[in-house]
Amino acid sequence: MGHGITNNDQVFSVREVPWHGLGVVLDEYPRSIDDALDKAGLGWRVTPGDVLVVKAPEWTDEFGTKHPAELIPATGFKANLREDTGAVLGSSRTNTRSWTTATRSDSSTR
């Protein structure tokens, strides 16, 4: 797979099959970026979601009853989700200023 295209990737070409033989071949060029994204199978948007962390793990009591883990939101973080599938694309900080300030003050005390 020297092309680096995975099963999750989408591509298109116009009038010719690309060297890797993958993707959709269009008869005409797309009329807009939205048209191109749609024809490439990329007509989805990124939406934010909560990042949760485990405050207390799942546990089983002495009677064998399972109790679920306690989850809490990770303050200052959001997940980047693919809107159509809900797949997690990554995560990002919601407040970079506080991180930058903390980093600067941490490095100045060394």
Task: Quick: pLDDT tens for 52-65.
Answer: 999 999 999 999 99
Q: Whole-structure pTM over 0.75, yes or no?
A: no
Report the alpha-carbon distance of residue 39 to residue 62 in Å, rounded: 57
- Average pLDDT for 29-57: 88
110 — pLDDT class (breaks 50, 70, 90):
very low
Q: Name the more confident of 78 and 4.
A: 78
* Number of structural domains the chain divides into: 2
Using one digit for the tens of pLDDT, what is the confidence trace for 61-82?
999 999 999 999 999 999 999 8
Are 27 and 1 members of one domain? Answer: yes
Whole-number pLDDT of residue 51: 95
In which domain, by residue range, is 65 found? 45-110
Are 30 and 50 members of one domain? Answer: no
Are 10 and 37 members of one domain? Answer: yes
Task: For residue 76, give the nearest of 56, 48, 104 by alpha carbon.
Answer: 48
Report the alpha-carbon distance of residue 92 to residue 48 in Å, rounded: 9
Report the alpha-carbon distance of residue 57 to residue 81 in Å, rounded: 25
Torsion from C-alpha of 102, 105, 109, 110, nearest 10 degrees: 60
| Other CB atoms within 10 A of residue 17 CB | 10
